Structure 1
Amino acid sequence: MGWFTSSSPTPAQPAVVNQPLTPNNLASDLKPEKTEKVKPCCVCKDEKSRRDECMLFSQSDDPQEDCKSLVSQYKDCMSGFGFKI
């Protein structure tokens, strides 16, 4: 064959790197990624604002009793992120 051939050369196979098994890399792909801890000011913003609005602008004689359900929702939301109120 000359220089005008229809077949292309085959690419070289990539080299496979085998690392020795050590305790540091045995299950590295199974480990969960590190998640950053959230700050309490950055979660449950909607629940907090509804709770605050209710407490501040309540026309009731006992705003604490009037807004009890919203306070409970806020506490449940915060406990879902690991905060204890």
Structure 2
Amino acid sequence: MPSVSNSEIKPVVSPGSQAVATSKPKPCCVCKDEKSKRDECMLFSKSADPASDCKTTIDQYRTCMAGFGFQV
């Protein structure tokens, strides 16, 4: 029986395993703090137009998501 040296053994890499490591994260897993601040502002706003009242927190969330490659 032939022997195999360590230099001849190469790890088997499935094609999908590298794609998972290099793909971007899911949108639900990033910018959690900004999202919760935005949601809280929108839900508890006493204004007639919560979107204009919470514009700064909405912009912070959009900026954070854009940093991960998402457009909202």
Report the TM-score range of the alignment, normalised by the length of the smaller protein.
0.5 to 0.7
The two structures have a TM-score, normalised by structure 1, of 0.58
In the alignment, structure 1 residue 52 sits paired with structure 2 residue 43: no
In the alignment, structure 1 residue 76 sits paired with structure 2 residue 63: yes
CA distance in 2, matches of 1:60, 1:41: 27
Structure 2, gaps ≥5 residues long: 1-6, 8-20
Give the share of equivalent positions with the same residue, in percent: 66
Match of 2:54 among 41, 58, 67: 67
The two structures have a TM-score, normalised by structure 2, of 0.67
Query: SS where residue 76 of structure 1 aligns?
Result: helix
User: Is residue 24–residue 68 contact of structure 2 (8 Å, CA) maintained in 1?
Assistant: no
CA distance in 2, matches of 1:64, 1:84: 17
Which structure has more relative contact order (CA 8 Å, sep 6+)? It is: 2
Higher relative helix content: 2
Match of 1:37 among 15, 19, 24: 24
Matched residue type, 1:61: A
- Bigger radius of gyration among the two: 1
Across the aligned residues of Structure 1 and Structure 2, the Cα RMSD in angstroms comes to: 1.3
Structure 1, gaps ≥5 residues long: 1-16, 18-33
